[in-house]
Structure 1
Amino acid sequence: MQKFNFHEFIEGISPEFTNVLDVSILKSEYCTLDLSESNDELNNIDVGCTNALGEYINKHIANNDAKVAFGGYLEKRNIYKRSNHFNSQSQDERDIHLGIDLWIEAETPIFTPFNAVVHSFKNNTNYGDYGPTIILKHNINDVVFYTLYGHLSLKSIENLKVGQIFKKGEQLATLGDDSVNGNYPAHLHFQIIKDLQENFGDYPGVSSVKDLEFYKTNCPDPNLLLKLN
């Protein structure tokens, strides 16, 4: 019997571009963005300053005649050095990004890509953390998996309930601004998770080198689903 491949399953769910943002935004209006430590342009940017990073991202979007910048899966980023949340002495430094970021203005609506139930939600308030976060549970062809939506607005979780049902294409949330989203320029952190490991309203979105092989298996590239390239 052929061994089940979760990554191939995610890639095969939909053969076409899958949008978790406003459906009026076309695939052609997305551009790639490199925030890795190997991007020399960032040497001239204080990536720890929300306004400076936001200006860089907005200029990049405008220069590419786009509405959304995306990227970040497995990027090794310097931005996390600003926060003890990722660099406490009790753990290895975490600086490798496990989701995909969709950079667009605050209040942008977020939509669920599949039928889902709310597994959990939480306001993760550590500096540099997700802020308001929702985790959805999906069951497709008897395969259960989860999607995480981080950096949302506070109102996105105000009246939410565990077990609440969302239909495919239904609005789930809106994006938060830097006052609630962990102090980042507005963006959605979207992550696919096979095993939540008993987490509730939170799941690591950044890995250390030591743990990376596990997370690469448990959190496949969201672009296998989104198909933005």
Structure 2
Amino acid sequence: MRVSLEALLKALPKCSIFDTDISKNQYVALDLSITNNTLKSINVTSSEALENYINSHIKSNGVQIAFGGYLETRNIYQRSNYFNNKNPETERNIHLGLDLWIAAKTPIYSPLDGVVHSFKNNTNFGDYGPTIILEHKIKGISFYTLYGHLSLASIQSLKVGQVFEKGDQIATLGDASVNGDYPPHLHFQIIKDIQDYVGDYPGVCSKQDLEFYRNNCPDPLFLLDF
């Protein structure tokens, strides 16, 4: 019987996408969901105001990285028509990856051996900005990892089919001027079936599409080590 991708991810040694010198105690969970009442006093349409809030959370916890967001319903996308169509059933506001909030220019490393499937600068307001998708094949199972909100330099000399080994640097983080107008962070997402997407894949879905995307995009914390 063929093992599922979820079971494979859980069985693999835990991985890192940042410098391995950053220990587990340097991560803190961050809640950006609609149920976080603190955010009601924050202008989340402003990347600067949101960055101040996130940086304050990181500093007050004495850590380097804030993380969270898988299947989190958020209001921060309402500022962009790319996500918000005013219909509660079709508005895209459920986050499908894991966000890791850390300074711009932070190096990003491949968590597994893989090859470049595609890359693109997704320039819609509130979109990923520079994005890389890697393809992985382990024990007969193919799947993909997506890295969004990168620096422009990360994709300038990249080539489709380029090989990365586990631990190789693949990118650096971008800032609000190139990353879709967000505080610096990495959007990391696991994808079973990339469908026909090239250099892009939905990182936020609507309520009516949640079951499909929940199945196609497993929890990144199955793989990562913190």
Give the TM-score of the pair, scaled to structure 1: 0.95
Q: Report deviation, 1:153.
A: 0.1
- Give the aligned partner of residue 149 of structure 1: 147
1:66 partner SS:
coil
Q: 1:81 and 1:4 mapped to 2: Cα distance?
A: 39
Q: Report deviation, 1:197.
A: 0.7
Structural mapping, 1:63-102, within 5 Å? 63-88=60-85, 92-102=90-100
1:5 aligns with 2:41: no
Q: Report deviation, 1:88.
A: 3.9
- Per-residue deviation, residues 109-168 of structure 1 (Å, max 9, x unmatched): 000011110000000000000000000000111110000000000000000000001111
- Per-residue deviation, residues 57-93 of structure 1 (Å, max 9, x unmatched): 0000011110000000000000010001112479910
Matched AA of 2:216: N
Matched AA of 2:121: N
Q: Report deviation, 1:3.
A: 5.8
- Per-residue deviation, residues 6-33 of structure 1 (Å, max 9, x unmatched): 212211122x3x2101222111100000
Query: Equivalent of 2:37, from 28, 36, 40?
Result: 40
Q: 2:118 and 2:163 mapped to 1: Cα distance?
A: 12
Q: 1:227 and 1:64 mapped to 2: Cα distance?
A: 19
- Give the aligned partner of residue 131 of structure 2: 133
Matched AA of 1:11: K
- Give the aligned partner of residue 205 of structure 2: 207
1:20 aligns with 2:5: no
- Structure 2 residue runs of 5 or longer lacking an equivalent are none
- Structure 1 residue runs of 5 or longer lacking an equivalent are none
- Give the aligned partner of residue 50 of structure 2: 53
- Give the aligned partner of residue 169 of structure 2: 171
Q: 1:82 and 1:187 mapped to 2: Cα distance?
A: 18
Q: 2:173 and 2:25 mapped to 1: Cα distance?
A: 21
Query: Equivalent of 2:104, from 103, 106, 114?
Result: 106
Contact map agreement 2:5 2:141 (CA 8 A) in 1 = no
Calculate percent identity across the aligned residue pairs.
Answer: 59
